[in-house]
Amino acid sequence: MDKATGTKSYYIQMLQQAVKELTKGEIPIELQRIINGCIMMQMTATAGIKKHGDRAVEAMFMEFC
């Protein structure tokens, strides 16, 4: 499957390939991208408020201050 489909199988294939390369003692760029995508996931303020409600509003005000 290609990346454009957005299916999990694409990312699983990338991760499997990265793990194979990891045994060579290097962290492959594909694995770095997967980790970065998971850790640095962000959303818009509107999406955050819809998902987390008042807690999101409080956190945004604290960050802005």
pLDDT digit string (tens) for the chain, length 65 residues: 345 555 667 777 777 777 777 777 777 777 777 777 777 777 888 988 998 999 999 998 998 88
CB atoms < 10 A from the CB of 59, how many? 12
Q: How far apart are CA 39 and CA 47, in angstroms?
A: 18
Count of domains for the chain:
1
Q: How far apart are CA 62 and CA 60, in angstroms?
A: 5
- Domain housing 31: 3-64
Q: How far apart are CA 61 and CA 65, in angstroms?
A: 6
